[in-house]
Structure 1
Amino acid sequence: MRAKVGITALVLLFLGGLWLVAAPFAVGYQPRGDEYADATVNDLWVGGALAALGFVALVIYAADVLRELASRGKHADV
């Protein structure tokens, strides 16, 4: 159960970061062709950092799960 909560939190962190990156353009507060507003730059940096953090954490978690499964399989053959 704890693993599901953790994975859900990481996925939400990743998706929230992606939303922050897309929001200035999806919502329309960054006019097309104009110089980026300070809010847009902030959303891009913070959203990119959150999305990257969530993605890296998910990859590390998946690698750990695969390592544990491989370890269990190795011990089962003995």
Structure 2
Amino acid sequence: MKAKVGVSALVLLFLGGLWLVAAPFAVGYQPRGAAYVDATVNDLWLGGSLAAVSFVALVIYAADALRELARRGKHAEN
């Protein structure tokens, strides 16, 4: 149960980061063809960082889960 909550939180953080990256263009506060406004730069850095960190954490969790499954499978053979 604890793992499901953690993975769910990481997925939500990842999606939130992606939204922050897309928001300036989807919502329209970044004018097309204009230099990036400060809010856009902030959203890109914060959203990109949030998405990257949560993605890395998800990959680490998945690798650990696969390692645990392999360990259990190895013990089941014996």
Query: Is TM > 0.5 for Structure 1 vs Structure 2?
Result: yes
1:46 positional shift: 0.3
1:39 positional shift: 0.5
Separation in structure 1 between the aligned mates of residue 75 and residue 12 of structure 2, nearest angstrom: 35
In the other structure, the counterpart of 2:22 is 22
The DSSP-based 3-state class of the residue aligned with 1:63 is helix
Tell me if 1:4 matches 2:17.
no
Q: TM-score, normalised by structure 1?
A: 0.99
- List runs of 5+ in structure 1 lacking aligned partners: none
- How many equivalent residue pairs? 78
State the identity %: 82
The DSSP-based 3-state class of the residue aligned with 1:12 is helix
1:67 positional shift: 0.1
Q: TM-score, normalised by structure 2?
A: 0.99
What is the correspondence of 1:31-70 to structure 2 with a 5 Å cutoff? Answer: 31-70=31-70
1:25 positional shift: 0.1
- List runs of 5+ in structure 2 lacking aligned partners: none
The DSSP-based 3-state class of the residue aligned with 2:29 is coil
1:48 positional shift: 0.1
1:45 positional shift: 0.3
Separation in structure 2 between the aligned mates of residue 71 and residue 29 of structure 1, nearest angstrom: 51
